[in-house]
Structure 1
C-alpha cells in the first residue's frame, strides 16, 4: 500500500518537474509575430535575416503571411489587443494603418538616423524596410527592332509611335498604374489634390496607345514576350530580377523622377511584447540585416550604410542615384480620394 502511494507521488513529482521544465523553456524562447508578404519575402527573411536576431535575443520570429491589405485587415480586427507585434506594408497602406492608430511611434536610434528622411513615415510611426522605385520599363528587343531610342519621360506613354504597344496596370488595383497616372497628371499641370488634368487628357493621349489594362504586374512579362508590350510602368527591382532570368528589358528613371515605392514596417500599438518588437524593427534596418535581405532576396536597402558586394552593390548604387531625383506621392490625399478616382477610372478610362 505504502509502496503504491510512493510510486504515485514520484510519478506526480516527475510530471510536475516536466511541467516546470516546459515552463522554463517557454519563458526562455518567446515568439514574435510579423505580418508580411509570403513567397520570396517570407523565405528570405525567415531563412537569412531573422536567424541572427533570434539567436541574440532567444526569440522565434514567425511570419503571418499575406498581402498588405490582408495584414491591415488582421491588425484592424485585433485593434486594442494586437496579436501581431510588427507589420510590413506597402507605403500607401501603411499611411492608412497609421491614420487608424494601429502603429506606435518608433524610438530614435543610430539605424533610424541613418535612414534618409524620405523613408520616415508620419513622424516616425513607421520606417521603410526596403526601397523600390516605379519608372518605365521597355522591351529592348521591340525597341531595337523598331529603331526606337529608349524612353526618357513619363510623357512618352502618350507618344503616338507606341500605339497599341503600351501596357498599364489598372490604377484602382496597382501602385504602378497609380504612379503612372499621378506623374502624367503632374505633366499636365495637376497635383494630387487636382487630378482633373490627367482624367481629361488620358483618354485622347495615352489611351489609344494602351493595348490592355491589366489587374496586376505579373501578366506584363508574358505580354512583352508575346511582342504585345513594348513600354510599361515597372520597378527597377522587378526589371533586374527579370533581366537575371534572361528577359530582354531595361529600366528608365524618367527625367521628371521615378516614384518612391517603399515597403515600410511598424510596431503594432498595444502588442504583448513592445520592447522586443521595437528591437526587431530596429534590427531590420541595421546595415547587417539590410545587406542580408538584399543579397538573398533583392530587397534594396533603405539604410545606405549596408555593405554590399558585387552585383548587389552595383544595383544599389544605381538605386541611390535614382533616389536623388525621386518623387514621393502625398498618400494622405491619395488614400482619401482613391475610391472616387477608381470609380471614375472604370467609367472613363478602362471602359
Structure 2
C-alpha cells in the first residue's frame, strides 16, 4: 500500500511539473512599438505589469520614433512582428491609409474615450493628449534677463542667434509642427507651404544652432548652455523638470499644435484577441491614471484621475492650453510629406 501511495504521489508530482511546464510554455509575448525614454519607462514599469499578471502575458516594447515604428510595421506588413503600435496622430494617418491597422472592437473602455481622441472608424485611438508649443532654458533666460517667449516668431529673434535647437521637420513631428505654424504666420497653410520654405532660412534658420532628428539631445544641450529655445510639449517639459533640467513651457499666442499619441492594433497579427484586450486596457481609466501619475502622460479617458495635487495642476494647465490649440490638416500633409521632406533636406537642413 505504501509502495502504491509512493507511485501515486510520484505520478501526481510528475503531472504537476508537467502542468507547470505547459503553463510556462503557454505564456505569450506581445510586442508594442512605441517611443523610448519616458514612454517606454512609464508603460513598462507602471502600466503593463497589471495586464501581464492578469493575462499571463509578457509585453515587450520595441522602442523608436513614430517614423521608425511605422517603417518597421510597413516592412513586416505581410508577417507582422508587432501587435500594437503607438504613433503620433499624423504618422498614424499614414499607417491607417497603408492598411496596417485593425478596427478597435467595441468595449466599455472605448466607450469612455472622448470623441476627439477616436480617429476615423476607430482604426486608432488616442492614449496621450498633447500639443507642441515652445520650451525654453529658464536658467539662461533668467541670467540674460529675457522675458518668457510668447510667439512662434520668437524663434527668429536675433538675440537667439545660434541658440535655437530645431527638430528636423523631415524626421520629427515637433519640427514639422513648428515649421507649419511658422508657415501659417507667413500667410500659408497646409495646402501652400511656399511662404514657409521661402522665408524660414532668412528668419528662424539664421538662429538655428543644430537641427536634431528627435528631442533626445535637448536635455544635454540645455545643461551645456547651448539651447535657449526649442519646440516641445508640456509633457516632455515636465519630464525634463523632474530630472532637474531647468526648462519651462510657453504657450504661443498663435496657438500650440494638437499632438495626440495614438495606438492601433496591427492587422493580421499573431494574437488578435489578446492585442484587442491590451489595447482596450490601455484606454481604461485605471491604466491612464497610472500613466498620468508616473509619466505625465495626459489621458484621453476623462475618468482617469490624477493621484497628486501636482498632477492635477498639470492636467488643468493642459486643458487651458487646449483652448487655443490648432489642428492641422493631416490629409493634405500626408499627401505632400515626401515632397516636403526632400525639399526640407535639400534647401534648409543642408
Q: TM-score range by the shorter chain?
A: 0.7 to 0.9
2:344 paired with 1:345: yes
1:178 aligns with 2:181: no
User: How far has the Cα of 1:129 moved from its partner?
Assistant: 1.5
Partner in structure 2 of residue 92 of structure 1: 90
Counterpart-to-counterpart distance in 2, 1:22 and 1:155: 63
* TM-score normalised by the chain length of structure 2: 0.86
Deviation per residue, 1:118-160 (Å, 9 max, x gap): 3222321001122232111112233233332211111222233
Residue 272 of structure 1 pairs with residue 270 of structure 2: yes
Instruction: Indicate conservation of the 8 Å contact 2:38/2:239, yes or no.
Output: no
TM-score for the superposition, normalised by structure 1? 0.86
Q: How does 1:1-351 map to 2 (within 5 A)?
A: 21=19, 25=23, 29-310=27-308, 311-351=310-350
CA distances 1:268-295 after superposition (whole Å, capped 9, x unpaired): 1122332332221111011100111122
The runs of 5 or more residues in structure 1 that have no matched partner are 1-9
Q: Distance in 2 between matches of 1:217 and 1:77?
A: 25
Aligned to 1:5: none
Q: 1:41 to 1:238 in 2, by over 3 A?
A: closer
1:22, CA displacement in angstroms? 6.2
Q: Distance in 2 between matches of 1:21 and 1:57?
A: 17
Cα shift at 1:24 = 5.2
Task: Report the more deviating stretch, 179-188 or 116-125.
Answer: 116-125
- Structure 2 CA distance, aligned partners of 1:96 and 1:123? 15
Measured after TM superposition, the shift of residue 81 of structure 1 is: 4.4
Q: How far apart are the structure 2 equivalents of 1:267 and 1:45? A: 17
1:99-120, Cα deviation, whole Å (9 max, x unpaired): 1111111133343243333322
Aligned equivalents of 1:288, 1:199: Cα separation in 2: 45
Which whole-Å deviations, capped at 9, do the CAs of 1:54-102 have from their partners, x for residues lacking one?
Answer: 3333433333444433433333333244343222223232222111111
SS of 2:201's equivalent in the other structure is helix
Is this contact kept in 2: 1:80–1:269, CA < 8 A?
no
Match of 1:4 in 2: none
The verdict on how the C-alpha distance between 1:224 and 1:73 changes in structure 2, with shifts beyond 3 A counting, is closer
Residue deviations 1:39-61 (CA, integer Å, cap 9, x gap): 44333323321222233334333
Higher mean C-alpha displacement, 40-49 vs 148-157: 40-49
Residue 222 to residue 288, structure 1, CA distance change in 2 (3 Å):
same
What is the CA–CA distance in structure 1 between the aligned matches of 2:322 and 2:215, rounded to whole Å? Answer: 22
Structural RMSD (CA): 2.8
Query: What is the CA distance between 1:38 and its match in structure 2?
Result: 4.1
SS at match of 1:141: helix
Q: Does structure 2 retain, via aligned residues, the 8 Å contact 1:142–1:230?
A: yes
d(CA) in 2 for partners of 1:102, 1:269: 6
Change (3 A) 1:241 1:48: closer
- What's the offset of the Cα at 1:252? 0.7
| Cα gap change, 1:87 to 1:165, in 2 (>3 Å) | closer
Deviation at 1:20, TM superposition (A): 6.6
- Distance in 2 (alpha carbons) for counterparts of 1:309 and 1:253: 25
Q: Post-superposition shift, 1:267?
A: 1.1
The number of equivalent residue pairs is: 340
User: Does structure 1 conserve the Cα–Cα contact (< 8 Å) formed by 2:222 and 2:245?
Assistant: no
The separation in 2 between residues aligned to 1:184 and 1:132, in whole angstroms, is 19
Q: Which residue does 2:3 correspond to in 1? A: none
Partners of 2:44 and 2:226 in 1: CA distance: 38
Per-residue CA deviation, residues 12-56 of structure 1 (Å, 9 max, x unaligned), is x99x96897368526864443323334443333233212222333
Alignment partners' CA distance in 2, 1:227 and 1:21: 60
**Distance across 2 between alignment mates of 1:295 and 1:146:** 34
